[in-house]
Structure 1
Amino acid sequence: MAGVRTAWRIVDDGDFFCAGCGGDRCYRLLTGRRRLTVLGLPVLPRGAAEPVVECVSCRGHFPPDALGQPTTTRLAGLLRDAVYAIALAMLGAGGGEEAAARRAAVAVIRDAGYPECTEDGLLTLRAAMGRRRLPPLDHEVRAAVGALTPHLAAPGREALLLLGARVALADGPCTDAERQTLSTIAEALSLPVAATERLLGSR
């Protein structure tokens, strides 16, 4: 006979990662007003309802902070950017003169989703960054890796550090400069010192 009904209003829309569907979906951000109803008719206002994110596919409702979770498409882009920055930083630390290191850098970048990457392209970019005097670690690694780190579990963060080590080791044992670069990458990945030493101790 009597109850409370919420009248929803759409205030925004877009794409998000739906935990109910397990993938990228369209969403609608809803705000609402609750009303006491009698026989299905609204009688008295009962105040504002908390905003919700509604999945257009499954119609599930989620708190607004669900929009803070990157879509799988966005996450893939963050990963590509992080791997690119790490490989470029490792080349810079090693001088980029050894062909083996360049080939390793190209391989990890291609595996991350940049199939068009070439040695010449990497060398051109590194040279351009040098002319502009941009420190790649601060402006590239810390920004790119920092954007991805909150969304990775520990094994994923460790795997990224090992990709950097793979480039460093391609032309022989790590130099002091390469170890320092790997340490900076580990900091950007929020890896504990013990984990970093375990991963890099024998390299």
Structure 2
Amino acid sequence: MRPARGQNGTNLSTGPQPGFRPRLWSTRTQWHTVGDGEFFCPDCGGDRNYQRRTGRRRLAVLGMPLVARGTTGPVVECAACLGHFGTETLDHPTTTRFSAMLRDAVHTVALAVLAAGGTSSRTVTGTAVATVRAAGFEDCTEDQLVALIEALAADTGRFLADPVDDTDPCGAALAIELHEALEPLAPHLAPAGRESILLQGARIALADGPYSPAEREVLSTVGGALSLCADDTARLLAAAARTPS
């Protein structure tokens, strides 16, 4: 007599099948949660909750864990798909964090270019405001940007357009700000994305005419902080200068 089967052809009998041999031993992992949070899940393709877990391997005999076989992990376990990933996955920013980093990067570049070229041109400040708003600061105004530039000048004692000497045309304070805002972002951007940030700064600088030496130096610093080589930075700046506004 043939065993009963379900609609999809699966065996519905509960007894052992001919030829079935139970495994006498196997290795099992007992997982323990040591932390949690939110991360960008590579398999889900979006922000998900995770558990950071460590495991202890044991040799199981007839399904009963008996002998310790060492530890494993830590791993990051997605709460949605239950996939396991290396802890380096947590280095990738969440979508929310990435958006904030990108917005702050554009804002910092705009400030650096304005500080280098000055704020006397309404065309320049208007272009800067439009750029910053498009990046996510929708309530940004010209007065806000000018006030920030004035605060920077008061803090450093000078504008970037008035360098102390030829060895520091970018200004140490704002150069540090540029590197802090751009370097963590660069590894997570495609080349086109890094170039786009540089070109947004270039369009602000070109709004009132050719680059000034201070503007060009600031934009070169932007390119370096975005992991663009000097030749690529120079090429992009030259191309932007040739493009009609």
TM-score range, shorter chain: over 0.9
Q: Which runs of 5+ in 1 are unaligned?
A: none
Q: Which one has more relative contact order, counting CA pairs under 8 Å at least 6 apart? A: 1
- How far apart are 1:137 and its partner, in Å? 2.6
Match of 1:162, SS? Answer: helix
Deviates more, 1:118-127 or 1:150-159: 150-159
SS of 1:107 mapped into structure 2? helix
| Equivalent in the alignment of 2:93 | 70
Q: Does residue 118 of structure 1 match 2:159?
A: no
Give 1:37 deviation, angstroms.
Answer: 0.8
Are the aligned partners of 1:14 and 1:26 in contact in 2 as well (CA < 8 Å)?
yes
Q: Shift in Å at residue 96 of structure 1?
A: 1.1
Deviations 1:70-93 (CA, angstroms, capped at 9, x unpaired):
111111111111100000011111
CA drift of 1:167 comes to 0.3
1:7 aligns with 2:30: yes
Aligned-pair distance for 1:197? 1.9
AA in 1 matched with 2:92: Q
2:77 matches 1:54:
yes
| Runs of 4+ in structure 1 over 3 Å off | none
Partner of 2:209: 172
The CA deviation at 1:193 is 1.8
Q: Mapping of 1:134-173 within 5 angstroms?
A: 135=171, 136-173=173-210
Query: Aligned residues, how many?
Result: 203
Normalising by the residue count of structure 2, what TM-score does the alignment of the two structures yield? 0.80
> Which of the pair has more CA radius of gyration?
2
CA distance in 1, matches of 2:95, 2:191: 19
**Maintained 8 Å contact 1:137/1:181:** no
Report if the CA contact (8 A) 1:137-1:184 is conserved.
no
What's the secondary structure of 1:185's corresponding residue?
Answer: helix
Match of residue 47, structure 2, among 6, 24, 31: 24
Give the corresponding residue for 1:199. Answer: 236
**Contact 2:175–2:221, Cα closer than 8 Å, also in 1:** no
Structure with a larger share of its residues in helix? 1
Q: Cα offset for 1:146?
A: 1.5
- TM-score, scaled relative to structure 1: 0.96
Aligned equivalents of 2:50, 2:129: Cα separation in 1? 37
Q: Higher strand share goes to which structure? A: 1
Which whole-Å CA distance do the structure 2 matches of 1:96 and 1:42 have between them? 72
Query: Per-residue CA shift, 1:109-138, capped at 9, x if unaligned?
Result: 111111011100111111111111184532
For residues 49 and 69 of structure 1, the distance between their equivalents in structure 2, rounded to whole angstroms, comes to 23
Matched, 1:186 2:209: no
Identity %: 51
SS in 2 for 1:9: strand
| Aligned residues: CA RMSD | 1.2
| Cross-structure match for 1:104 | 127
